[in-house]
Amino acid sequence: MESKESIKKELGQILASRLFEGKKQASNFLAYIIEETLIGRGDKITQYGIAIEALGKPAEFCPTENPAVRVEAGRVRKLLEEYYASEGSSSKLRIILPSGSYQPVFETSSSTTSVQHFSPKSIQSLGPKVHISYPDTALIRDDALRGLVYNMRSLLPMTLGNFREVRIALARVSQPKGHKVDELEAAWRHHQAEFLLQCSTEVIEAGFAIKFVLFHTLTREQLWSDSAQMPVHYTQTTLEMVFSQLILETFSLHRGIAMAYWSRYWKMQSDIPCHYRVLVEHIHFIQDKSGDANLQAFLEACQARTERYHDDALAHLHYAVLCLYAYMLRTKPTDNLETQWHRLALRALELNPGNALAHSIFALECFHRGDYEMGKVEIETARQVNPFDHTGGHLLAVGLCALRHTELAFNLLCELAGLDSRYPDPLRVVPCLFYFRRGEFAKNARSASQYAALGGWEIFGTLVNHCRTDDCKSCIQVLSHAVDDLPTNHGNHTLPTSDFWENIQQRLVHCQIQKLGF
């Protein structure tokens, strides 16, 4: 065993790191179990002891009824893995919390071996990484514009960071004086970021204009661009709405153009990295081909990861989501599905504390087994944890509809779309139209000519009939064929120009109406 001094020194470096900054419970948890181990009581550490001594729980705390200690253990375990994959990658001594144990172990290894052992590729399923570039504030003379850029640099990574499926490269790409840096090359070479999101700003007569341009760094292809206008005296709510719409258009699981391109890019390669496969197959299923064969590929990816890595947070989370799809498509025996869904939903919640999608799928699992009160609590928790999670929200609407809670699904869909629930819109009675195939059916149905191209009221009536008779599989098949047959649908990664700013304004008005109680 390493010396107590070296272990305490390593603990101090961990607690002072950026990853543990502000995480009081995780820090107390780690400090407590290490202290107990160093004084020879490591094998006697209990959940109750951790709860009382480290987490400040009351004396009547019951570990069998309250999973707080297990959840915090999973959180600490992941933080340690992330620490040694980033800030602590050069550490000779490593503190490890083995799965299923509360007693830490201490390992010494060479830096090369350590990085390989703790590489995220072999521990956690991952999604793409994006590098965000902003204007250089040193070159901005307008104080108000400079303030806007500072707010963007602070708020956008924080908002996007709520989504576990996307990683963010926070470090700035330095530009030597007199040299123009190739941002696409630098984003990949320095950060291994597969996407570059360029943010630019300018002063206009009405206030400010913000422009976003999204590139894929490996192919150097521009995938998407759009802009938004901000008043001079904008509020944080307005800026949050802009970023929320940005994430919906680019990085949301069910509709994001970056996620669709990323999935297709890797599907065309000879081999998909094992730590990418779960998300690649999930995105391919909901955005491109929502059929049995693609669900099977998604299932095999989830099974492979969860069987090999019992703490793979994203794999367990998306495996739990897959159980909903299996229920909708009736691909698994009901008794096996109920047991597996319940187990995976609980495990996903434990491995992904504070994750809106985890709370969303657990809420649906609660409704599936008849625990409606808990389900409603979990829905509210999911909406509060991350109000910008459109994928989780739309998944809730789809799942509630499939589970025959149509009124709740309808109300939730109205809230997500920022629409006036008093206005009759028949499309909203089929939530799948907004979730599968990038929501193209619902978007194109806004235009009379495009609606006719989709098949008009005849196809819509067929969809409603399938929805009302619990035939989710046929509903998804019909809407997929309708989208495939659209003359304007090119079948590639590009999406039609969106009403970016119009959607933001609509949602701002909806929020104001809700505040006024109408």
pLDDT at 82: 84
84: domain range? 4-118
Task: Kindly tell me if the per-residue pLDDT of 247 is higher than 50.
Answer: yes
Is 141 contained in some domain?
yes
My answer on whether 56 and 143 are in the same domain is no
Task: Kindly tell me if the per-residue pLDDT of 281 is higher than 90.
Answer: yes
Is 226 contained in some domain?
yes
Query: Are 480 and 454 in contact, with CB atoms under 8 Å apart?
Result: no
pLDDT at 161: 87
My answer on whether 24 and 98 are in the same domain is yes
My answer on whether 135 and 240 are in the same domain is yes
380/411 Cα distance (integer angstroms): 13
Task: Kindly tell me if the per-residue pLDDT of 112 is higher than 50.
Answer: no
425/470 Cα distance (integer angstroms): 21
275/309 Cα distance (integer angstroms): 11
My answer on whether 104 and 139 are in the same domain is no
pLDDT at 314: 96
Is 396 contained in some domain?
no
Phi and psi at 165, nearest 5°, equal: -75, -10
My answer on whether 109 and 135 are in the same domain is no
Over residues 130-162, the pLDDT tens digits come to 999 999 888 899 999 999 999 999 899 988 988
My answer on whether 88 and 145 are in the same domain is no
Is 373 contained in some domain?
no
Query: Are 282 and 318 in contact, with CB atoms under 8 Å apart?
Result: yes
My answer on whether 90 and 162 are in the same domain is no
My answer on whether 179 and 228 are in the same domain is yes
Lowest-confidence pick of 105-114, 318-327, 358-367, 398-407:
105-114
Is 140 contained in some domain?
yes
- CATH code of the domain containing 207: 3.40.50.11830
432/444 Cα distance (integer angstroms): 14
Spatial CB neighbours of 123, under 8 Å, sequence gap ≥ 6: 81, 85, 309, 311, 312
Mean pLDDT over 230-237 rounds to 90
Task: Kindly tell me if the per-residue pLDDT of 3 is higher than 50.
Answer: yes
Query: Domain ends where: 209, 228, 252?
Result: 252
Total domains, the chain: 2
Is 310 contained in some domain?
no
Count Cα neighbours of 37 within 13 Å in the Cβ-side half-sphere: 22
The crossing angle, in degrees rounded to 10, of helices 313-329 and 292-308 is 150
My answer on whether 133 and 99 are in the same domain is no
My answer on whether 95 and 170 are in the same domain is no
Phi-psi map region of 455: left, alpha, beta (phi>0 left; psi -120 to 50 alpha) = left
pLDDT at 422: 52
pLDDT at 189: 82
426/40 Cα distance (integer angstroms): 67
pLDDT at 476: 94
Q: How many residues does the chain have?
A: 518
42/45 Cα distance (integer angstroms): 6
Is 35 contained in some domain?
yes
pLDDT at 92: 85
Query: Domain ends where: 252, 269, 303?
Result: 252
My answer on whether 189 and 248 are in the same domain is yes
pLDDT at 86: 77
The 3-class SS string of 378-429 reads HHHHHHHHCCCCHHHHHHHHHHHHHCCCHHHHHHHHHHHHCCCCCCCCHHHH
Query: Domain ends where: 252, 286, 315?
Result: 252
Mean pLDDT over 179-202 rounds to 88
Kindly report each contact of residues 462-467 with a partner whose C-beta sits within 8 Å and lies 24 or more positions away, as own/partner: 463/430, 463/432, 463/433, 464/426, 464/429, 464/430, 467/401, 467/429, 467/430, 467/432
398/406 Cα distance (integer angstroms): 9
My answer on whether 79 and 17 are in the same domain is yes
Query: Are 500 and 249 in contact, with CB atoms under 8 Å apart?
Result: yes
Is 248 contained in some domain?
yes
pLDDT at 89: 77
Q: How far is residue 32 from each of residues 15, 139, 353, 375, 441, measured CA to CA in Å?
A: 12, 48, 20, 34, 54
144/22 Cα distance (integer angstroms): 30
- Chain-centroid distance of CA 449 in Å reads 35
- Chain-centroid distance of CA 97 in Å reads 25
Over residues 45-82, the pLDDT tens digits come to 999 999 999 998 998 888 888 888 988 998 898 889 88
352/332 Cα distance (integer angstroms): 25
